[in-house]
Chain A
Amino acid sequence: MSQKPPYKVADIGLAEWGRKALTLAENEMPGLMMMRRVYGPQKPLRGARIAGCLHMTIQTGVLIETLLELGAEVQWSSCNIFSTQDHAAAAIAKRGVAVYAWKGETDEEYIWCIEQSLVFPNGEPLNMILDDGGDLTNLVHTKYQQYLPCKPMCCHSVVLSAITGISEETTTGVHNLYKLMTKGLLKAPAFNVNDSVTKSKFDNLYGCRESLVDGIKRATDIMLAGKVAVVAGYGDVGKGCATALRAFGARVLVTEIDPINALQASMEGFEVTTMEAACKEARIFVTATGCRDIIRGDHFSQMLEDAIVCNIGHFDIEIDVKWLEDNAAAKDTIKPQVDRFTLKDGRHIILLAEGRLVNLGCAMGHPSFVMSNSFTNQVLAQIELWSKKGTYKIGVHMLPKKLDEEVATAHLEHLGVKMTRLTAAQSEYLGIPLEGPYKPDHYRY
């Protein structure tokens, strides 16, 4: 039997630096700080044993400390082998949280880390999941089914300690939840945090708008102005990426499969074309589709010298890295997470973060402020699931719009926003309550 270490991080000596960064981030995360003020005294998460699997960054550190302040016990792993910020992990480990994450895990170590977060020190298993991308959810649904609730008829003792709910952070993980649901495999109620407006319309869009270029610049110091860049996928993430690249003066091409998104891109002034056409003229390639096999061998063979290829979708299957590994004549690591492949005809391809999330692999991920929006939704979802145990059926749920609006409100003061209020007459004219919610559920923002 393996002995479980109290935590596993790259260097606990970085804790002090991590703590300073956490302090800085707190001021930039007004939503989470509001949760601490409002819910801290009531401890609505008392008794919750949350296993979290989400990029172990400074922002996540503020999330973890918020969950603790709300009464939860927390154990953590990162949902990506490159995304951990070692100083953040160290600071969180130092304050006594069982965190298993370091930048540069192997695939096997990655699973080991998630497995360490399942059972708490008193021997009791997790009873809440906070997930990003669905790896933890899937691991529990396949290898550790004993922690899931069984049918109401049988063994009540197991039901009591079983997993009460799941909250999922990102598009890919939500997609996975719906897939599990359709197949009848989902065993606990889940919250789709991703599709809260204050999550996907902010973190995915404005987050990527700042962190994509940060990643490319830190990795390569390339001049973007005048270059041709291609963004595969024009969802929220793709929109942010395309806008950012254009703001630097790049000429941006977009590839899309959905006619609506293609039309949006086109009307924003982006040329929509195929990867087959784009691969011959672009210098910078960004995949943001959430799909697989977007940039393949036949594309690599036609790219310009030293084309930069990176991905900002959740999983590493958008770029066919294996083709590069198998077909390149040589691979030179310029620095960690920046590899230059020499193709057999002598041309080169620069691959960032091995085709995994470039903003987290090569830069520091999204800024705190936008993550505060996302994580406040996570905290609200955890409170909903835990404090209303048993009221949510197995399925994928969303936070009510009223809470979405509250998340947004929590972030206004920090930006000095001055709000206009409805008058009674206006409220009556529109048929909208004075205190909101201001939009119907089907409104798309």
Chain B
Amino acid sequence: MGVQLVNSHLTNKANDSNDLVELAQQIQMADTFVHATAKNKLTAIAEQIKALQEQAKNVLEEARLNSDLHHAACNMVKKPGAIYYLYKRPSGQKYLSLLSPQEWGSSCPHTFIGGYRLEVDQSWTPVENISEKDNESELMDKILHSGLALTNT
């Protein structure tokens, strides 16, 4: 007979009485992993849904505010970039004014609701968010600009 090169007993564990148990354990572990992974993925999606819902709510609220502001009484031609101040008359009528409450001082005749800047896209930015909005649009401008530079070269 020739020389035995490999110990088949050692290389083939199929007959090991522990193999089945190990397999079951592996499957169980795999199940847990799959479950955990699926859960993780689902959680990520759920989070995205939540974020989207939130975003959708913001968009709707913003749209309502924008439309409210555009429907407020105003005798002026509204100019993008300008800040307008929303007031409410005792009659309930809301109107836009060029005058801030500081400019009115103590003689302010109606209830002040808020100040808003009209943007080029006819949306409104509350005065307290103006610097944030400006930073954001500056960043976008930069991206847009560098993008253009890329396509130009």
Taking beta carbons and an 8 Å cutoff, which residues of A are in contact with B? Answer: 1-5, 8, 10-11, 13, 81-82, 86, 102-106, 108-109, 112, 115, 336
Contact = CB atoms under 8 A, between A and B. Distances in A.
B105 A103 contact: no
Nearest to A115: B107
Interface string B97-129: 111001111110110000000000000000000
Interface string B62-87: 00000000000011110101100000
A5 B79 contact: no
Chain B facing A: main interface SS: loop
A105 B97 CA distance: 8
A104 B75 contact: yes
A11 B82 contact: yes
Interface of B: 74-77, 79, 81-82, 95, 97-99, 102-107, 109-110
A336 B106 CA distance: 31
Contacts of A112: 99, 103-104, 107
Nearest to A8: B98
25 contacts: A1-B106, A3-B102, A3-B103, A3-B105, A4-B103, A8-B99, A10-B98, A11-B82, A13-B81, A81-B75, A86-B77, A102-B76, A102-B98, A103-B75, A104-B74, A104-B76, A104-B77, A106-B75, A106-B95, A109-B99, A112-B99, A112-B104, A112-B107, A115-B107, A336-B77
A108 to B, nearest CB: 4
B97 to A, nearest CB: 6
Contacts of A1: 105-106
Q: Which of A2, A4, A102 has the most CB of B within 10 A?
A: A2
B1 to A, nearest CB: 103
A336 B99 contact: no
A2 B104 contact: yes
A4 B104 CA distance: 9
Contacts, number: 53
Contacts of B98: 8, 10, 102, 109
A2 B74 contact: no
B96 to A, nearest CB: 10
Given A2-B102, A11-B82, A102-B76, 13 more contacts: A1-B105, A2-B104, A10-B79, A10-B82, A103-B76, A104-B74, A104-B77, A108-B109, A112-B99, A112-B103, A112-B104, A112-B107, A336-B75
A102 B99 CA distance: 11
Contacts of A4: 103
B79 A2 contact: no
A2 B107 CA distance: 8
Contacts of B102: 2-3
A82 B97 CA distance: 14
A135 B1 CA distance: 129
A5 B85 CA distance: 15
A105 B110 CA distance: 15
B98 to A, nearest CB: 6
B121 to A, nearest CB: 18
A148 B98 CA distance: 31
Nearest to B76: A104
B106 A2 contact: yes
Contacts of B103: 2-5, 8, 112
A112 B105 CA distance: 10
A103 B81 CA distance: 18
Contacts of A81: 75
Contacts of B99: 8, 109, 112
B78 to A, nearest CB: 9
